[in-house]
Amino acid sequence: MPVTIEPLGPHHERRAFTCGQPALDIWFRERAGQDEKRNLARVFVATDDQGIAGFYSLSTYTLSLSDLPTDLARKLPRYEALPAALVGRLARAERVRRQGVGELLIADALRRTLSAAQSVAVYAILVDSKDERGSAFYKRFGFQPFPSRPSRLFLLAETAAKALRRLG
């Protein structure tokens, strides 16, 4: 099943999309386009011959030094805010469950973030998990939970870059 990932556009039919998480479905159907127009997020969609197979959103974020694990925080300057990227929402359609679309989406999000990091500094890439299954998915890619907020996970940009280089 060939999948193409591209920016969300008006030609993408979102009404029938369902991932099994009502909050993600509603956001994608009703608010993703508005968030794009307002420059709150960039939304990317994975499409196949049947339509939308998944999506994710990217935006900038500022990370507080106090959010990080102590062993990382003590190695950094005492800045009030650290630059980060947020994969705010990521979902794959129920119809493509266990076909690797989620993995394609997170890999694409990491590549796009690291590409942008050539022009804008990014210390870490953050994700929010809706549940334990989501957390386990992100942990497979090396994301670690924040000590004070286990449903928000992070991956250092330098770690992501090394992993993507290994993949080719």
Alpha-helical segments (H) within 21-146: 22-26, 32-37, 70-73, 101-116, 132-139
Q: In this predicted structure, what is the pLDDT of residue 116? A: 84
* Ordered structural domains, the chain, with CATH: 4-167 (3.40.630.30)
Taking residue 69's Cβ as centre, other Cβ atoms within 10 Å add up to: 13
Residues 22-68 have pLDDT tens digits of 999 999 999 999 999 999 999 999 999 999 999 999 999 999 988 88
pTM over 0.75, yes/no: yes
pLDDT in tens, 64-83: 988 888 888 899 989 889 99
pLDDT at 1: 61
Is the separation of the CB atoms in 125 and 87 below 8 Å?
Answer: yes
